[in-house]
């Protein structure tokens, strides 16, 4: 998905754009906004699923229809997890990730924090991009350092491999990712070039699943 140095230039470009308000512009659902594609100007309302300052300077929002990343100026409006926010801006797709270059951000009232969608590791795709998701799978290889961006690890629940990208800005400890260990990861579903990935927001988003007496991972009732 995002890599900080690349997005630093994009943040500056977004900050340089004039924040002209268009009060008569209709507000659409995120699914409708996403269908318009890069270059379109949109106005949406969503719930913050990844607050500003977690990684890459922007933030993520979602509604009942979809989710999206918002590329905000370097000093965006303070927003909290679960806060409703109105965003107006232009759609872009750097590295394949559909995002909004924010020209206007309007905080609204608080709501409950979004509940992550359960997704199979081999099924994560375009329809999940922008959502907060939860995946569970067995770590299939050693953690790969992707300096200075972070770390990469692949997990698989039997449906196919999925890349978990741990952004260095989150300070998430990658030691729980050990080959053969079953982990549950909550994070932002993003795209980087030709692949999809899940990016945890904090340490609490990574959980080792205890093994039962047979050595298999215990499941929830």
pLDDT, tens only, 159-196: 999 999 999 999 999 998 999 999 999 999 999 999 99
Q: Tell me the domains of the chain and their CATH numbers.
A: 4-110 (2.40.50.140), 117-208 (2.40.50.140)
More confident residue, 54 or 214: 54
Lowest mean pLDDT of 7-11, 20-24, 32-36, 111-115, name the range: 7-11
pLDDT averaged over the chain? 86
- Please, what sign has the CA dihedral across residues 158, 220, 195, 44? positive
pLDDT at 213 over 90: no
Global pTM? 0.85
* Of 83, 20, 95, the residue nearest 52 (C-alpha): 83
d(CA 55, CA 3): 9
What's residue 115's pLDDT? 95
d(CA 173, CA 176): 7
What's residue 77's pLDDT? 66
CB atoms within 10 A of CB 76: 21
**Are the CB atoms for 108 and 84 separated by under 8 Å?**
yes
What's residue 19's pLDDT? 40
Give the SS3 label for residue 76: coil
């Amino acid at each position: 998905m995002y890599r900080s140095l690349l997005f630093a230039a994009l943040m500056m470009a977004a900050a340089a754009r004039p924040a002209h308000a268009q009060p008569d512009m209709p507000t659409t659902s995120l699914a409708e906004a996403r269908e318009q594609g890069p270059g379109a100007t949109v106005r949406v309302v969503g719930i913050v699923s990844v607050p500003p300052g977690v990684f890459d300077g922007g933030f993520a929002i979602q509604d009942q229809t979809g989710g999206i990343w918002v590329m905000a100026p370097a000093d965006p409006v303070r927003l909290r997890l679960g806060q409703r926010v109105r965003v107006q801006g232009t759609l872009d797709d750097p590295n394949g990730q559909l995002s909004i270059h924010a020209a206007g951000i309007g905080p609204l009232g608080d709501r409950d924090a979004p509940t992550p969608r359960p997704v199979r590791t081999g099924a994560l795709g375009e329809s999940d991009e922008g959502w907060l998701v939860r995946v569970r799978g067995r770590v299939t290889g050693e953690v790969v350092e992707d300096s200075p961006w972070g770390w990469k690890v692949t997990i698989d629940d039997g449906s196919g491999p999925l890349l978990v990208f741990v952004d260095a800005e989150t300070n998430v400890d990658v030691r729980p990712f050990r080959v053969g260990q079953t982990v549950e990861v909550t994070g932002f579903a993003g795209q980087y070039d030709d692949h999809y990935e899940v990016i945890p927001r904090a340490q609490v988003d990574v959980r080792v699943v205890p093994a039962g007496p047979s050595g298999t991972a215990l499941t929830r009732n």
